[in-house]
Structure 1
Amino acid sequence: MLNRVFLLALTDWKNIKRDPLLIFSMLGPLLLAVLARIGLPELDRLLNQYMSFNFQAHFLIIISLVLLMTPLMIGMLFGFIILDERDEGILLYYSITPLTKVGYLYGRLLVPMGLTFILSFMIVLIQGVVQIDVFSFVPVAILLALQTPIITMIMSTLASNKVEGLALTKVINLCILVPLIDYVFTNPMVKLVMLFPVYWPVSMLINMNSSYYWYQFLIGVMVTFLWFILLKNKFQKKIE
Structure 2
Amino acid sequence: MIKKIVVLSIGDWKNIRRDPFLIFSMFGILLLASFVRFGLSKLDELIATHTTYELTEHFPLIVGLVLLMTPLMIGMLYGFVILDERDEGVLLYYAVTPLTKVGYLFCRLLLPMITTFFLSFIVILIQGVIEWKIITFIPTALLLALQAPLITMLMASLASNKVEGLALAKVINLSILSPLIDYAITNPLAKVMIFLPMYWPAYMFILISHNDDWIHAFLIGMIITICWFILLNHLFQRKIG
Q: TM-score, normalising length from structure 1?
A: 0.97
Instruction: Work out whether residues 5 and 106 of structure 1, in 8 Å CA contact, stay in contact via their aligned partners in 2.
Output: no
Structure-2 residue corresponding to 1:198: 198
- Superimposed CA distance per residue, residues 31-61 of structure 1 (whole angstroms, 9 cap, x where no aligned partner): 1000111111111001111112211111111
Structure-2 residue corresponding to 1:215: 216
Runs of 4+ off more than 2 Å: none
Distance 2:240 2:96 in 1: 13
Distance 2:119 2:72 in 1: 12
Structure-2 residue corresponding to 1:232: 233
* 1:76 equivalent in alignment to 2:90: no
Q: Where do residues 107-122 of structure 1 align in structure 2 (5 Å cutoff)?
A: 107-122=107-122
Q: By how many angstroms is 1:18 displaced?
A: 2.1
Q: Secondary structure at the match of 1:182?
A: helix
Give the letter aligned to residue 238 of structure 2: K
Give the letter aligned to residue 136 of structure 2: S
Structure-2 residue corresponding to 1:9: 9
Percent identity, aligned pairs only, is 59
Instruction: Work out whether residues 37 and 128 of structure 1, in 8 Å CA contact, stay in contact via their aligned partners in 2.
Output: yes
Q: Where do residues 156-175 of structure 1 align in structure 2 (5 Å cutoff)?
A: 156-175=156-175
- Superimposed CA distance per residue, residues 166-188 of structure 1 (whole angstroms, 9 cap, x where no aligned partner): 11110010011111001101122
Distance 1:63 1:35 in 2: 11
* 1:100 equivalent in alignment to 2:100: yes
Structure-2 residue corresponding to 1:58: 58
Distance 1:46 1:5 in 2: 47
Distance 1:237 1:6 in 2: 26
Q: TM-score, normalising length from structure 2?
A: 0.97
Instruction: Work out whether residues 200 and 216 of structure 1, in 8 Å CA contact, stay in contact via their aligned partners in 2.
Output: yes
Deviates more, 1:186-195 or 1:120-129: 186-195
The RMSD of aligned alpha carbons is 0.9
- Listed as ranges, the gaps of 5+ residues in structure 2 are none
Deviates more, 1:14-23 or 1:91-100: 14-23
Distance 2:219 2:162 in 1: 35
